[in-house]
A and B are shown apart, each in its own frame.
Chain A
Amino acid sequence: MSQIHVSTTINGDATEFLCEPDETLLDALRDRLGLTGSKEGCGTGDCGACSVTVNGRLVCSCLMLAAEAEDAEVTTIEGMAEGEALHPLQRKFIEHAALQCGICTPGILVAAKALLEQNPAPTETEARYWLAGNLCRCTGYDKIIRAVMDAAAEMRGEMRRAS
């Protein structure tokens, strides 16, 4: 099998790579592009540690073929902070001790950002159901949910100030 050439945009940068026809987007990100922030916890779409957005939609990158990223806009955890400035979710995760080991953190942050883009004022229940596809084994989710709700509140405040 010959490899496939893919032209895509990752975290705003035009990117090209070669991949096997059966290679997942996660493997291409990690093994070909050095973007190891997305993690493989299961490889079957059950844990969410590999969460990225593709054209704004939250996906498990372990369930998507790398070749399907042609002409797409892919965003990973590495694209979340802007230069030195952490995204409010990233900052709130640190402040609330919302991570213990940190392996699920990139995926949860990507998923939470996607939530707040769709729904800037989620209820606790909405946040819990949105994040139900992201497994965390350390925290029991308590501090994660608090961090997401706090970040959402801060972002709403910022948006009000901006307008």
Chain B
Amino acid sequence: MNFDLAIRLTEILAGFALAQQSIEHLTTFANERRLFLPRLLLAILLILGIQTVWVTSLLLLLGLAILHRFQGPYNGGADRMSLLILFCLWLALIAPTRYWQEVAFGYLALQLVLSYFISGWVKVVNPDWRSGQALSDVFQFSAYPVSESLRQWVESPRLLFAMSWGVMLFELLFPFALLSTTSLNIALIITASFHFSNACLFGLNRFFWIWIAAYPAIIWFQLRIFATL
């Protein structure tokens, strides 16, 4: 995947994710609609690839206004990843030379790798995660399980133990996936499945779409850096 194609795919996928987020706000308070209706229209322009420098600039400014409106992210990590993608995309579009464009887009790829590796690291150093207790707590009393029936998973400690180690090992090993195109493709299918599971079990639908939007950056990055080694 060349640089220009990776940028275009990121615009399309990020535009779709931002549109999906924005549509969810259109049935709420008027002062929220005033922020999210323009965001929806800009997201459509981003998908279509029209005036992308101006569109990403305005989307970033709207992102700041939304942060101010909610005094922080509305949807935690998904909002932060949305802003990170927009920021890197904007930098890559306005940078004066191809070298700086690649640095900006490479930063997004690097952050995607860190998003998995650091998540794995902070879990594996916690004894509650290593014993499976932390994931049991998530199902037993956290705000995330989407239905009461999911809380019963706490009665399957061996399953939760296996799931905990599966998630931690995969997150920690993710950087090694960059060593070959095949391993990266397999890893991205697994991570997309992981986000899909989180969307189903914990209702984190926005994470699913916005993390996938960063995948073209890492596919390009792997080819650019590792395939030439």
A and B bound? no
